[in-house]
Structure 1
Amino acid sequence: MAVQRISESVYVGICLKIGTPQQVTYRRDIQDIADMLNNNEMLKTPITLMISGSNREGFRMSGSDMDIMLWLNNHRVIWDFSQCQFYNTQEHALILCDSSESPPGFTLLWLPLEETSHRVMSACVRMNGMLYISSSKYREVTCSVFGFPGSSPHGPCGSGSYDYLEYDQAHCFISDFWPPSASSWIGRCHSWPPPHVVNDIIRNGCHFVAIGHKLGNHTDNEWRVSFSQAEYKLVCSMNHTQFLTYGLLKLFLKEIINEGLRDEDKLLCSYHMKTAVFWAIQQTALPRWCTQNLMDGFWVCFKLLLKWVYEGVCPNFFIPENNMFLSNIYGEAQKTLFTRLYRLYENGLALLLHSPSIRSYIINVLCNPRLTICTDEHTLISEVEVDENIFSEVSANDLIRTLDIHRYEKYLHTVEQLLGLPLTQYHIFMLQKLTATILQCTAFILHSMYTYTGSNKQLYIVDKVACRLVKLSAKFGFVSDMLYIAMYYYKTFRYRDALSVIDIIKVKLAQPYLMYQSHVDRESYTEAVGGQSLSTKMRQAVAQNIKLDNKMFFINELIPEQQSSIQNIWYSLYIPPLVLLYMLEFLCSRHVDTMRAQRALDDLQVLVHHDQDQLVPVRLRDISWEILGICQQISGNLQAALYSYQQSLRQYPQNKIQTATRQRIQDLHL
C-alpha cells in the first residue's frame, strides 16, 4: 500500500515536472501543425526538416536540445535493386544499401549510377572501384557548408543555436522501405504497439544518420540506421503512466546515475532509458501500467538496465542483434558501472531520494501516511498555468519566415487544406496563429516589393491589399499583433492612423487581466476569459514579444540593429510589446504632436529604467535600452542616449545587437 501511495505522489511530482496528459498532447499537436505546414508537398522544398528527439516526444526538460533531422527530397535509399521500379530515376537519385561488411544496424551507402547532387558527390569515396557516400565527409560538408551558420560537429549532428533554441541537426537520408534487418520486430508486436501503429511505422520506412560503428570495418564511411520516426510513434502510443516512467528514467539518469560524472565517463544515455521502456512494455513485464504502479514500472525498467549492464548487452529495440553497449560498456568500465548501479539497486526505492525533482514527493508520503493525494490533472495545474504554457508553445513554434511571396501564397493554400482534416483544438489554434504570421509577413513583403516600381497606381493597389492583410492578421493573432498595423502605418507615413491604433492597443495592454508571458493577474484573467476558447483568449487577453525577422525591415530606425543581429548569426529581434508601442508612439507623434512625443518618450524611459522583469523581461533589456537610446538620440538628448546605449551593452546580449550599439555610440560624437 505504501508503494502505491508513493507511486501516486511521484506521479503528481512527475506531472508537474514533465507534463500532464493535456500538456503533452498540446505540445505534440502544436509541433505537428508546424511540421505539416513546413513540409507540405505543395511547397516543393528540396529538403524536408523534421523535429525529433525528446522535445518532439513532448518533453520540456531544462538543458535538453532541439533535435532536427533534414534530408534531401530527391534522394532515396533502397535495400535491393527490385525497389528501383517504384521511382523515376529522372527525379530521384537512388542509393543502395551495402550491409555485407557492417555490424547490425549499420550500412554503407553505394551510388550505383554515380549521378547525384554536388553536395553528395563532394562527400563520396571510392572503395573497390565503386562510389560510396562517406558519413564522416557528409557530416563535414553539411555542417560547414549547408548547416546553420555557427554550427559545430557533435556525433552525427551539427550543434549550435537558432534564436532561443539550442539544437542538434542531423543531415541524413531517407528510405521509404522498412529495413530487412528489422523484420523480426514486426513479428514481435503481438501486445504492443497496436496493429495500426505497426503498419504506420513500416509504411514510413527509416532514415540513415551520418555516423559509423566505432568497431566496424568502415567507421568513417558507414551510416547508422535511424528509427527516429518510428520511436516517436511508439512514444505517442504509450499511455501517460508509461510516458512518465520514461520521463522518470531520464531524471534518474540525469540526477542520480550521471550526477557528478565528467561527460566522457557518462556511459548510459537517454536512448538506453527509452529502449528499456520499449522492451518492458512490449514484453508485458508489468501487466497494467497505471498511476498506482508507476514505481513498479520504474523498477521493472531499472532491473532490465541492470541486467543489460551485467551482461554487457543492450539490444536495440528494432534490431536486437545491434548491441548498443558494444563499443563503450565493457571491461573495467562495465564493472564500475554495474557496481554503481547495483549499490543504487540495494537501496530500493529510497534511491530516488537522491533526486532533487522527486525527493519531496516521497518524503511527503513517508512523513504523512494519511496524506490525501489527488492525481486529477485539472487540479494539479490551473487553467491559467495551462494557458501560459500553450501560448508560450505556440510562440516558440511560430517560425515560418521567408522573403518569398509565392511561398506565403502556398502556405495559405496549405492552411486551407489542413482545415479540411480532422483537427484537434490545439491544431486549429496553432493554425490560427500561423495564419496571422503569414498575413503580416505577406503585407510587409508586398510593400517592400512595390515601393520603388515608379507606378503610383500599382503601389496604391498593393498598399490597399497589404493594409487589408495586416488588419486581418490582427483578427487571428495575439493582442500584441495589432502592433504590426501600427508598424505598417508608420512605414507608409500614416502617422495619425498609426496613433489611433496605438491608442487602442494601449488600452488593451493596460487591462488587469492581460497575460504577458508569466505576468498575469490570475483572478482578473479567470474572471475575464476563464472557460472561453483559446482563440478568444489569444485575441482578447494575451500579449507576446514582437518578433521582427531580420531578413525584413519593419522600422527603418531599427535597421542597424537587425543587420548587427543577423551578422552575429541571430535571425530575429525580440522586443517587449510595450517598449515597441512607446517607440512607435514617439516616432509617429514627432510628426503630428510634439508634446505627445515627449510624453511617450517619458513613459518609455520610466518603463525601461524601473520595470522589475514584468513588462521588460531581463533577457530583452538589451533591445529595450537600445530603443530608449534611439528615441533619446532622435529627440536631441545625446547624453541620455549615450547612457542608454552603455546600459544596453551591459545587458545579456540576447538580440546580438552590440555591433550596432557600439556604432551608435561612435556616431554620437560626444
Structure 2
Amino acid sequence: MSDNCYLSEALYVGLCDYIGTPTEVTARREVMDMKEEIMEPLEKHICCRKMETGSHREGFRFQSSDVDTMLWYTNYEVITNLKRKKRKSHKAQSSDSDPSKHSRILMEDTDTPGFVRLRHLKSPRKEDYDLEPYVVSFNGRDYISNVKWRQIILTLMVKNNSFNHAKIHGPCANGFIGDIEHDYAACFHCSYWSRFPSDLKKIPNFKGVFDDISRNGCHIVPVGSKRAGVENELEWRLSFSQAEQKLVYSMNHTQFLCYGLLKIFLKEVVNRDKEEPFLCSYFLKTTMFWMMKKIGYTDWYPRNLLNCFMACLAFLIDKVGRGILPNFFIRKNNMFAAKLTTAKGKCARECLFQELKRYHNMGLTCLLQSSTLKKLICNNLSGIYPIIYKKDHIIDKSAADTDICLKEEIYRLSLGENVRENYFILRFTILLNEPLTEYKTLTLQKCTADVLVHTAFLYLNTSTVSTNKKVYRSDRLIGNLLKLAGRVGDASCLLYLALYYYRTCRYREALHVTALVKSRLTQPYIMFSAVDRERYNESVGGWSLSKRMQKAWADLVCLKKDIYYIQELDLEQKLSKENSQPALLISPYVVTDMLSVLCNYRLGNRHQCLQSMTDLQTLMLKDVHLRTIDISWQILGICQHVVGDLNGAFQSYQKSLRQEPFNKIQNASKYRIAFTLNQLFRN
C-alpha cells in the first residue's frame, strides 16, 4: 500500500471520529427530517413554512457552525409566467392556483444571472395589502424591496428576548442564543423550477435526484447583486438550498468527509487571520458539486481521499486564477463577480491564488498547517480512535458512542408552544401511516412524549372547570396524558406525573412514582450527562433503540417559562423568565430527591424526609449535572427552608448565587437569602 493510501485511511478514520461515522451522519439527518415532517401540518395551517439549511442540516457538527433557517409564507405564490397553461408539470403555476387563497408574485429575470425581480400582482385580497409596506415602484410597476422585506425577521428577532446582538447579515437576520449563532432568512418559494442544466440528469450518481429537485422548486432570498458596488434593492437572489441538501445527502461518506476536510482547511489554514476572506464555505460546496460531476463515483473511496482532496484544491486554484466560479445550477452566474468589483477584491483574489498554489506545491504536508487535521492524523497513527477500519469501510462505533450522538440530536429538538400547535403535532402522530426508519421512529416517540407533557400542563393551567364531575374528567385526562408520556418517553419522563401528583396533594402517589423513577435512574447503565460505556454496551446493546430510550436514557427536567408546575419553584420560574430564560432545566436526580423530601414532609414522615434530605445533600457533593448546579443548590435550600433548617437554607442559597448562572435565577436567590435572613433575625 502506498504512503498516500495509508495516510488517506488514517485521515478517513480520524475524520469519522471528528465529523461523524456514516451511522452518526445518517442519524443527524433523519432526526432533522423527522422534525420537519412533524411540523409540516402545523406550518401549512399557519401558512408559514420553515426549513433548516446549511452545514448543520447537512450533518456537520463543527463547534463554530451556525444554524441557518429559511422561512416563507405559503399564502404568497411565486409564478414564472402569466400565461394560463394547464399542464400537470406546472401545478403550482397560475393556471391551477386558487386566486382566493394565494396572492400572486411574478418572478422576472434581470440582467444579472442568478438574480430576479419580484413583481407584485395586485388583487382585492387582504394579503395583497399586507405587502404594501414592502413595495416600491419602478417603471410604473410595483416590486417587492429586498431591503424592506428582510427587516421583518430582524424586527421579530429584536422583540424576542432570547436573541442577543441581532443584526442584518446578507439576506438574513443574525443573532445569538447563548453561544450558538442563528441566521434566519425570510424568503419566497417558487414551487417549480425547470431550468436545471440537462447534462446533470445524465450523471449516474445524480440519477433521480434532479427529478425530485425540479418538483421542489427553489427559493428567492432578499439580497441583491453588488456588481456596481452597491446592492440593487429590487433584485432577489435565487437559492437552491433544497437542491443542495439533496445533493449533499446523495454523497457517499468519502465525498462527505472530503467536503468536511475542505471546510476545516479553509477555516484553519486559508482564511486564518483574514478579516474579509475571499473564499467562503459556499464556494467549497460548489467546488464539491463540480468535482462530483468530474470524478467518477467509484473513485471516491477511503484510500483515495487525499487524492480527491488535492483534485478539489487544484480545481479551486484554476477557478481563482481565472476569477470565474460558475454556480452549479445557473452556469452564467459567476459567484466571484461580486468579489471582483473593487480593487481590494481583485488584490485579495491574486493573493489567494498565489497562496493556494503554494499549498498545492507543498503536497499533503499542507494539511499539517491545520491544528485539527494534524491532530487527527497523529492520533489515528497512534491507534487511539474507537473506530475499526477494514476493507474500505467503517465498522462503526459501539452502541454507547452511537447512542450518545443520537440522544444529543433528539433532545435538542423543540416543538409546539401552545395547545393548538400541540394538537397538530399529535394529529400528525395519530394519522401517520407510513413506514419510518429506526431513527425517525425514535424521534417521533420522543417528540410525542414531550408534546403530551406540555399539553397536560397547559390544559391544567388553563382549565376553569368547577363541578366535581368536570374536575374528575379533567384530572383523568391530565393523568392519562402524563402516564402515556411516561410509557413512550425516557426513564425520567414520569417525573412530570410525580410533579402533577404533588401539585394536586396526592403525596403517596407522587412518592410511588418517584421511587419508580429513582430505581431506573440508579441503574449502572443509565445514560444521562455521562455513561459507563462498558456497562451500557453489555446491558442494552441487544435492545431496540426504543427500549434503550425508555429504560436507559434520562434527560433534564424542563419547566417551561409560561407554565406553572409547583408552588416551590414558581419564584425561580418567574425571575428566570425576566432574564430571557426559556425554561428551568433541572437534573432528574435532584427533582427525584426534592419530591421525596417535600412529599414525606407533607405526610409527616419525619424519618423518611430526613433520609431524602441526606440523599439530596450527598447528591450535591458528588453527582450533580454541572451546568445546572445553580438550580440544584437552590432546590436544596428550598427543601431545607420548608423543613425549618433556616441556616442550611441560607448557606445553600449563597452557594447557588456563586455558581455559573446557567438558569439565570440570581434574583430568586437574592430574594430567598433576604427572606431567610429576615426570619433568622426575627427568631
TM-score scaled to structure 2, two decimals?
A: 0.90
Q: 2:426 aligns with which of 404, 409, 412?
A: 412
The residue aligned with 2:88 is none
**Which string of whole-angstrom CA distances, capped at 9 and with x for unpartnered residues, describes residues 532-591 of structure 1?**
111111111111112222222222322232233333333222211111112222222221
C-alpha deviation, 1:174, in angstroms: 0.7
Write out aligned runs for 1:47-86 (5 A). Answer: 47-82=48-83, 83-86=93-96
Q: Structure 1 residue 623 and structure 2 residue 631: aligned? A: yes
Task: Note if 1:387 corresponds to 2:372.
Answer: no
Shift in CA distance, 336/514, structure 1 to aligned 2, threshold 3 Å: same
Displacement of 1:374 = 4.0
Deviations, residues 236-280 of structure 1 (Å, cap 9, x unaligned): 111111111111111111121122333xx2221111111100000
Please tell me whether residue 202 in structure 1 is matched to residue 214 in structure 2.
yes
Written as runs of structure 1 = structure 2, the 5 A alignment for 1:210-249 is 210-215=222-227, 219-249=232-262
Partner of 1:113 in structure 2? 122
> CA 1:484–1:214 in structure 2 vs 1: closer, same or farther (change >3 Å)?
same
The amino acid across from 1:274 in the alignment is K
Cα distance in 1 for residues equivalent to 2:490 and 2:179: 20
| Cα distance in 2 for residues equivalent to 1:646 and 1:97 | 62
Q: Is 1:447 the counterpart of 2:460 in the alignment?
A: yes
Structure 2 CA distance for aligned equivalents of residues 576 and 378 of structure 1: 36
Match 2:181 to one of 132, 151, 166: 166
Give the corresponding residue for 1:496: 508
Indicate conservation of the 8 Å contact 1:30/1:426, yes or no: yes
Deviations 1:484-531, CA, capped at 9 Å, x for gaps: 1111111211111001111111121111111113x1222222222112
Q: 2:434 aligns with which of 391, 397, 421?
A: 421
- RMSD (Å) for aligned C-alpha atoms: 2.4
Note the C-alpha offset of 1:361.
4.9
Residue in 2 that maps onto 1:144 = 155
Correspondence for 2:291 among 277, 280, 291: 280
User: In the alignment, which residue of structure 1 is the partner of 2:681?
Assistant: none
Equivalent position SS for 1:341 = helix
Q: In the alignment, is residue 301 of structure 1 matched against residue 312 of structure 2?
A: yes
The separation in 1 between residues aligned to 2:316 and 2:438, in whole angstroms, is 39
Return the letter of the residue paired with 2:239.
S
Match of 2:541 among 516, 522, 530: 530
Please say which of residues 306-315 and 129-138 is displaced more in the overlay: 129-138
- The match for 1:19 is 20
User: SS at the partner of 1:153?
Assistant: strand
Once the two structures are superposed, the pairs formed by residues 284-433 of structure 1 within 5 Å of their partners are 284=295, 288-329=299-340, 330-363=345-378, 374=390, 379=395, 381-397=397-413, 399-404=414-419, 406-418=420-432, 420-433=433-446
In structure 2, do the counterparts of structure 1 residues 205 and 42 end up closer, same or farther at CA, with 3 Å as the change threshold? closer
Cα distance 1:272–1:454, how it changes in 2: closer, same or farther (>3 A)?
A: same
Judge which range, 567-576 or 200-209, deviates more.
567-576
Given candidates 262, 266, 271, the residue that maps to 1:253 is 266
Structure 2 CA distance, aligned partners of 1:377 and 1:555?
Answer: 53
In 1, Cα distance between the equivalents of 2:155 and 2:380?
A: 53
Q: Check conservation: 2:301, 2:392, Cα contact below 8 A.
A: no
Q: Deviations over 1:90-128 (max 9, x none)?
A: 111111123335x11112211121653666333222223
Structure 1 residues 596 and 366: CA distance shift in structure 2, 3 A: closer
Q: What is the alpha-carbon distance in structure 2 between the residues aligned to residue 568 and residue 365 of structure 1?
A: 45
Runs of 5+ in structure 2 lacking a partner? 84-92, 679-683
Give, in angstroms, the shift of residue 646 of structure 1: 3.4
Q: 1:578 to 1:365 in 2, by over 3 A?
A: closer
Q: CA deviation at 1:8?
A: 1.0
Q: Are the counterparts in 2 of residues 9 and 373 from structure 1 also a CA contact under 8 Å?
A: no
Structure 2 residue matching 1:152: 3-state secondary structure: strand
Whether the 8 Å CA contact 1:486–1:499 is kept in 2: the answer is: yes
Secondary structure of residue in 2 paired with 1:314: coil
- In structure 2, relative to structure 1, the CA distance for the partners of 1:362 and 1:215 (3 Å cut) is same
Is the aligned partner of 1:153 residue 2:181? no
Report the equivalent of 1:91: 101
Cα deviation for residue 364 of structure 1 reads: 7.1
Give, in whole Å, the separation in 2 of the partners of 1:221 and 1:490.
Answer: 60
The answer to whether the 8 A contact 1:119-1:141 is kept is no
- Compared CA separation, residues 467 and 7, structure 1 to 2 (3 A): same
Deviation at residue 332 of structure 1 after TM alignment:
1.0
Alpha-carbon separation, structure 1, partners of 2:196 and 2:674: 69
Q: Which amino acid aligns with 2:478?
A: A
Sequence identity percentage: 38
Distance in 2, Cα, partners of 1:375 & 1:643: 60
Structure 1 contact 286–300 (Cα < 8 Å) conserved: no
Structure 2 vs 1, CA of residues 649 and 366 (structure 1 numbering), >3 Å: closer, same or farther?
closer
TM-score w.r.t. length of structure 1: 0.92
**Is the 2:122–2:128 Cα contact (8 Å) retained in structure 1?**
no
Match of 2:648? 640
Deviation at residue 300 of structure 1 after TM alignment: 1.2
Task: Report the counterpart of residue 110 of structure 2 in structure 1.
Answer: 100
**Contact 1:479–1:508 at 8 Å: present in 2 too?**
yes
Structure 1 contact 48–72 (Cα < 8 Å) conserved: yes
C-alpha distance in structure 2 between counterparts of 1:266 and 1:386, whole Å:
36
CA 85–665 in structure 1, closer or farther in 2 if over 3 Å, else same: farther
Shift of 1:223: 1.5
Map Cα deviations across residues 291-348 of structure 1 (whole Å, 9 max, x no partner).
1111111111111111111111121111121111112254211111112212111100
Deviation at 1:226, TM superposition (A): 0.8
Distance, in Å, in 2 between the alignment partners of 1:464 and 1:363 is: 60
Aligned equivalents of 2:628, 2:129: Cα separation in 1: 42
The residue correspondences of 1:569-588 to structure 2 (distance < 5 A) are 569-588=580-599
Q: Is the CA contact 2:325–2:335 (under 8 Å) kept in the aligned structure 1?
A: yes
Q: Which moved more, 1:493-502 or 1:616-625?
A: 616-625
Deviation at 1:189, TM superposition (A): 2.8
* SS of residue in 2 equivalent to 1:76: strand
| Residue from 657, 674, 683 that aligns with 1:649 | 657
Q: Secondary structure at the match of 1:347?
A: helix
Aligned residues: 652
Matched, 1:551 2:562: yes
Deviations 1:208-230 (A, max 9, x none): 11211122575234211111111
1:645/1:366 CA distance change after superposition, 3 Å: closer
Q: Distance in 1 between matches of 2:253 and 2:312?
A: 16
Deviates more, 1:147-156 or 1:427-436: 147-156
SS in 2 for 1:159: strand
Aligned partners of 2:446 and 2:488 also within 8 Å: yes
Q: CA offset at residue 165 of structure 1?
A: 4.7
| Residue identity in the other structure for 1:109 | L
| Cα separation, 2, equivalents of 1:295 and 1:605 | 55
Residue 164 (structure 1) shift: 7.5
